[in-house]
Amino acid sequence: MSVLAYDLGAGSGRAILGHLTDQEIQIREIHRFKNEPVKAGERMHWDILRLHHEIIQGLSLVKQQGESPDSLGIDSWGVDFGLLGSNGELLGNPYHYRDTQFNGVMDRICQELSRKKIFERTGIQFLPFNTLYQLAALTHRASPLLREAERFLMIPDLLRYFLTGEAVNEFTNATTTQLYNPVLGRWDHELLAHIGASDRWFGEVVLPGTAVGQLRNSVSQELGLASIPVIAVAEHDTGSAVVAVPATERSFAYLSCGTWSLMGTELEQPVINAESLELNFTNEGGVGGTYRLLKNIMGLWILQECMRQWERDGQGISYAALLAEVETAPPFVSLFDPDDDLFLPAGDMVDRIRQYCRKTGQRVPEDQGSVARAILESLVLKYRRVLEWTEQLSGQSFSGLHMVGGGIQNHLLCQWTANSIGKPVWAGPAEGSAIGNMAVQWIASGAFKDIWEARKAIRNSFPVKEYEPQDRSEWAEAYGRFLQISAASPSLHSGSEV
């Protein structure tokens, strides 16, 4: 049985075909493409029509290779959305979550409603680009889009709508908006009313594994394909990535690492209390009635931005060459909190790292290897902090950490994570989101009875590399310094510990 998974990240997308035979999974990349934001005037957008075109291209390549998948599904990043008008057509290109029009809106809304009230109603981490604040920004400036809007669809919902004509919202992605109430099991009408968003825009929320239409006749006829069923998978990419964690124990910790790092655990109920609010954790929907207690960490975005800057400055360097320089740079010289607001916007990331180090009385990293080493060391030290918080909030003790996603191809990151947390790291699979996307499609078809049978097949089908902790005393000392530096820089601190 074959299925097609579209996995869209903040920098690239891919179409991957999966075959399931005798509980063994084989995958093949069909199509890979860039996903770059577009700056138009003062606004930053996603090129949604280009993404739709690439999805069609993926289907065309599937046909050319003689494949006929039994279903397809789409996952992507969260929070961003498109609006449909009364004629069912898209009203403008969706905004990018890093667009500057959303700056400062979270603080205003939190003053009006209080963080406590918002968190009690949603259980979602406070991030300045959450959908709640994006919509509040549009209503505050009386965006003409809202006068014409009839339907709210998140990115995978929208792309699925283009393919099928069916407009529904999927659960795991809906929960990222900070507009969904997990206690009531529906959109939160009070929050919507406060920001001036109409209830009628927000439709049915379906669970992962729900079949939502088939390819439109126009698409099938254009490509010469059968009318393939389209499944609403775990459409938030982290939700799909967690499905693919090859855990053997019901109690496990995961880290999905890429542009963003997301660390947490899988629970049967959300953890919405004063402590999870204080630590600014989130409770996002999962598969099979679960919730993902997790925290967003800035991730490899900081390193990616530095590399883009060096490229612009004529100092471009390959990833492999940069990691070689990292290994020869002196350790633990410059540390910083990667979740500081300083590192959220695009731009001159190298200068911001140096600015942070100057203000905290540390040596300023000058060469590329030293800058990159500071990023990776700071990131894995933050992983330890968040893992400790996850144990604290969940009341569990984890024997190690499962790492999935493209970031595991950085073996230094994996080894240093094990060193930092002082526990084993199990890395794999790299294409976690795509594989989890496929697993939900197979669960929907009955090929797997549940998520645990799917995880067993994933564990048996893909290699997992184990990293044992090393140099524990040096890393423990560095962790102490990291905590002191983070606590001593309140003027730079992002408020991740609300």
Asked if residue 490 has pLDDT above 60, the reply is no
> What DSSP assignment string belongs to 153-186?
EEHHHHHHHHHHS---EEHHHHGGGT-EETTTTE
pLDDT digits (tens, 9 = 90+) for 380-432: 999 999 999 999 999 999 999 999 999 999 999 999 999 999 999 999 999 99
Phi/psi of residue 436, nearest 5 degrees: -65, -40
Q: Is the pLDDT of residue 497 over 90?
A: no
Domain boundary residue among 201, 236, 271? 236
pLDDT for 69-85, tens place per residue? 999 999 999 999 999 99
Does residue 251 form part of some domain?
yes
Please confirm, yes or no, whether 188 is among the known catalytic residues: no
Q: Are residues 232 and 256 located together in one domain of the fold?
A: no
Considering the entire predicted model, what is its pTM? 0.93
Q: Output the six-digit token pair for 116.
A: 């406590």
- Report residue 176 CA to chain centroid gap: 10
Q: Are residues 182 and 301 in the same domain?
A: no
The pLDDT value recorded for residue 489 is: 66
> Is residue 159 domain-shared with residue 284, that is, in the same domain?
no
Contact 285, 171 (CB under 8 A): yes
Both 193 and 256 in one domain: the answer is: no
Spot the catalytic one: 99, 237, 337, 340. 237
- Does 222 lie in the same domain as 266? no
Place of tokens 């970031």: 407
Confidence of residue 111 (pLDDT cuts 50, 70, 90): very high
User: Are 364 and 329 contained in the same domain?
Assistant: yes
Q: Is the pLDDT of residue 491 over 70?
A: no
Total domain count, the chain: 2
Q: Identify any residues that bridge with 7 across adjacent strands, giving them in sequence order.
A: 14, 75
> Which residue in the block uniquely carries the two structure tokens 């606590």?
487
* 437 domain-assigned: no
Rounded to the nearest 5 degrees, what angle is found at the Cα of 350, between the Cα atoms of 347 and 354?
125
Examine the pLDDT at 311 and tell me if it is beyond 70.
yes
Residues 220 and 270 in one domain: no
Range(s) of the domain holding residue 57: 2-236
Burial per residue of 413-452, b for 16 or more beta-carbon CB atoms within 10 angstroms, e otherwise = bbbbbbbbbebebbbbbbbbbbbbbbbbbbbbbebbeebe
CATH of residue 496's domain is 3.30.420.40
pLDDT tens-place string over residues 230-250: 999 999 999 999 999 999 999
Phi, psi (rounded to 5 degrees) for 415: -65, -45
Question: Where does a domain end: 236, 256, 272?
Answer: 236
Gyration radius of the chain's alpha carbons? 22
Q: Are residues 200 and 86 both part of a single domain?
A: yes
Q: Tokens 């992983």 identify what position?
A: 383
